[in-house]
């Protein structure tokens, strides 16, 4: 018995001394934003006991994947509220996953919104459109939360720009300006794809800022350090805007073709 | 008068290699390893998703399998060592020779670590193979136009697939899984020094496994209860080793943090093995 007490003291004593190290590890994990929300009673009720146990045993990623795959099944069955619940839950479990925020908002603004608009239960077409816009608005608010969680990567800024361009431009006059703003923020990241730059220029033009769009296309043309750039598109746009804006010959990149 | 023999790393090594060989011959080990390899291989069957989703699923499931089956191998492999030695009476033959009890305990532990290391390597090779296969399939699909990516964005997409498939940070995740499994083996060894039943050893270590993952949130909840915190101190914080999920979703894992967690694990292991030695050296055999 004395030996067991001694062994217990050997385990507990130095372990107490390790408490500051454990606190430091926890603080670093918080600072580096590892993990997600803790497994509260509320979360446990939503995901079930078995899944909660898997979560507690350290399989957060696997649990999130299972819920994500399940949300795909809900989509196929047109059970949008259940799908939405799973998407929200997955982003709570892994708030640092770009994938879940990005594809989640796409489901809401594109798939669920379309499903809600064309739902036979809608009494009028206007009711369907109202429901569609509500889902698009929900997607925007969802994506905003995603950006707050992951402000250090370009992906969600681009997704937000694309959402404004594709969905809000139909019913909000300032949508293209907002799209350009978000594309511009995505472009601040060095790993942002070149296609976002081209979209940014298009969005500027659609927002009524043709001069700014031209200046951007011109800048793209003059930047030769991009081997994968779609030069044919850049050339076409520069030429078109030089003609449309009647740019003086001494400022042009391409001289106008003479008849 | 009996002459006290000095500590010999050679004897420890011999016991470790012997322990490893015995464990590998166990049916339960081979079955667990086969299950692990099947689980890892089946991770490549998610096909109706985007390439980012498919790669995330493969990595999550493979690293999950690595962690689950690694833990089972570590616990079951270590739990049967001492009871089997006692039951087969081979322990008496060994201790009758000039072998110190500490050498025996350390040798057993290192044999278990060798078993974990080899198992993890086999599973990691399988994981790498599955990832390689998935990456090649996704690139081939993109080149064949099956993904609907425009031609001018194809090089960018292929670069993205390759970058997402093989992330060198996965090594950090695997390293911390290895330390965590070593820690579990040390807990099992400690339990098996005062128990004679393998089932009891496995059950207690599984409870420690669950409690270890609950430690972080529990310590936060009981921050103002010193007695509860002192009791909690005996259980290692296993949640600290879970960085694989964060690596997969693209979070940055600095080497400094990996070093801190691994160092914490190693200190815990030393404490547990020392406590196991204390009990075993006083045990009447």
Instruction: Give Dmax (Cα) for chain A.
Output: 106
Paired tokens of B73: 């191998």
Q: Which two tokens stand for residue A95?
A: 């708030």
pTM of the model: 0.83
Q: Is the dihedral of CA A105, A108, A109, A110 positive or negative?
A: positive
For residue B47, the model assigns a pLDDT of 66
Nearest alpha carbon to residue A167 among A136, A139, A191, A146: A136
The answer to whether the CB atoms of A99 and B153 lie below 8 A apart is: no
Distance CA(B271)–CA(A90), nearest Å, equals 38
**Cβ B260 vs Cβ A21: under 8 Å:** yes
| Residue A16 counted as domain residue | yes
pLDDT in tens, A135-155: 999 999 999 999 999 999 999
From CA B176, how far away is CA A147, in angstroms rounded? 30
Contact B246 A96 (CB under 8 A): yes
To the nearest whole angstrom, how far is the Cα of A84 from the nearest Cα of chain B?
Answer: 18
pLDDT computed for residue A100 by the predictor: 94
Is residue A26 in some structural domain? yes
In chain B, where the domains are located: 9-281
CB contact under 8 A, A21 and B64: no
A55 domain residue, yes or no: no
Which of A5-9, A163-167, A241-245, B65-69 is the least confident region? A5-9
Would you say residue B11 has pLDDT above 60?
A: yes
Given CB atoms, is A27 within the 8 Å cutoff of chain B?
A: no
Q: Which residues of A touch B283 (CB under 8 A)?
A: 3
Q: Do A32 and B253 touch (CB under 8 A)?
A: yes
Q: How far is B104 from chain A (nearest CA, A)?
A: 18
Contact B127, B36 (CB under 8 A): no
- CB-nearest partner of A6 from B48, B67, B278: B278
Region of residue A246 (phi > 0: left; psi between -120 and 50: alpha; otherwise: beta): left
Q: Which residue of B has its CA nearest to A5?
A: B279
CA distance A258 to A75: 57
From A29, which residue of chain B is nearest by alpha-carbon distance? B240
In chain A, residues 76-105 whose CB comes closer than 8 Å to chain B: 94, 96-99, 103
Please, which contacts does B269-272 make with residues 24 or more away whose CB atoms are closer than 8 Å?
Answer: B269/B179, B269/B182, B269/B183, B269/B186, B271/A10, B271/A11, B271/A14, B271/A15, B272/A11, B272/B183, B272/B186, B272/B187, B272/B189, B272/B190
Q: What is the pLDDT of residue B1?
A: 47
Residue B44 is given by DSSP the state: G
- pLDDT per residue as tens digits for the range A52-94: 777 777 788 888 999 999 998 998 888 989 999 999 989 988 9
Evaluated on CA atoms A152, A153, A158, A160, the torsion sign reads negative
Q: What is the token pair recorded at B12? A: 């420890």
Separation between Cα atoms, residue B223 and residue B182, nearest integer Å: 28
Q: Which residue has the tokens 């493979």?
A: B62
User: For residue B68, which residues of chain A lie inside 8 Å, CB to CB?
Assistant: 59
Q: Structure tokens of B218?
A: 């529990």
Q: Does the distance separating the beta carbons of A15 and B213 come in below 8 Å?
A: no
Domain carrying residue A28:
1-32
């Amino acid at each position: 018995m004395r030996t067991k007490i001694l062994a217990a003291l050997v385990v507990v004593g130095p372990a107490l001394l390790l408490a500051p190290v454990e606190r430091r590890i926890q603080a670093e994990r918080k600072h580096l934003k590892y993990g997600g929300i803790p497994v509260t009673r509320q979360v446990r009720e939503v995901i079930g006991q078995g899944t909660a146990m898997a979560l507690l045993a350290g399989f957060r990623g696997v649990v999130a994947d299972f819920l994500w795959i399940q949300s795909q099944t809900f989509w196929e069955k047109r059970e949008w509220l259940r799908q939405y619940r799973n998407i929200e839950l997955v982003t709570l479990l892994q708030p640092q996953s770009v994938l879940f925020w990005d594809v989640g908002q796409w489901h809401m603004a594109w798939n669920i919104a379309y499903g809600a608009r064309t739902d036979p239960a809608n009494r009028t077409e206007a009711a369907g459109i109202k429901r569609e816009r509500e889902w698009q608005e929900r997607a925007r608010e969802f994506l905003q939360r995603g950006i707050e969680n992951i402000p250090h990567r370009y992906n969600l800024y681009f997704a937000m720009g694309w959402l404004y361009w594709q969905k809000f431009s139909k019913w909000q006059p300032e949508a293209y300006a907002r799209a350009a703003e978000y594309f511009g923020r995505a472009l601040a990241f060095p790993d942002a794809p070149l296609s976002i730059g081209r979209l940014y220029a298009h969005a500027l033009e659609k927002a009524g800022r043709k001069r700014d769009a031209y200046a951007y296309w011109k800048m793209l043309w003059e930047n030769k350090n991009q081997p994968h750039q779609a030069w044919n598109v850049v050339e076409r746009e520069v030429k078109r805007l030089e003609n449309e804006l009647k740019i003086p010959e001494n400022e042009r990149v391409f001289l106008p073709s003479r008849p | 008068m009996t002459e006290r023999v000095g500590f010999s790393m050679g004897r420890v090594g011999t016991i470790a290699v012997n322990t490893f060989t015995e464990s590998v011959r166990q049916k339960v080990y081979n079955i667990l390893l086969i299950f692990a390899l099947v689980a890892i291989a089946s991770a490549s069957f998610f096909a109706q998703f985007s390439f980012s989703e498919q790669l995330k699923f493969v990595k999550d499931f493979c690293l999950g399998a690595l962690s689950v089956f690694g833990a089972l191998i570590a616990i079951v492999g270590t739990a049967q060592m001492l009871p089997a030695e006692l039951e087969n009476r081979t322990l008496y033959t060994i201790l009758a020779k000039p072998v110190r009890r500490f050498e025996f305990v350390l040798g057993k532990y290192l044999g278990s670590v060798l078993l974990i290391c080899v198992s993890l390597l086999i599973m990691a090779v399988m994981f790498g193979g599955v990832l390689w296969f998935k990456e090649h399939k996704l690139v081939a699909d993109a080149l064949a136009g099956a993904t609907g990516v425009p031609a001018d964005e194809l090089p960018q997409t292929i670069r993205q697939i390759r970058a997402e498939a093989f992330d060198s940070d996965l090594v950090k995740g695997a390293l911390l899984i290895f330390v965590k499994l070593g820690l579990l083996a040390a807990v099992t060894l400690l339990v098996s020094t005062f128990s004679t039943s393998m089932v009891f050893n496995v059950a207690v270590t599984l409870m420690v496994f669950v409690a270890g993952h609950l430690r972080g949130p529990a310590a936060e909840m009981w921050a103002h209860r010193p007695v509860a915190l002192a009791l909690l101190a005996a259980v290692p914080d296993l949640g600290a080793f879970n960085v694989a999920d964060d690596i997969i979703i693209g979070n940055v894992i600095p080497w400094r943090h990996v070093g801190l967690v691994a160092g914490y694990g190693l200190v815990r292991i030393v404490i547990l093995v020392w406590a196991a030695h204390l009990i075993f050296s006083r045990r009447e055999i």
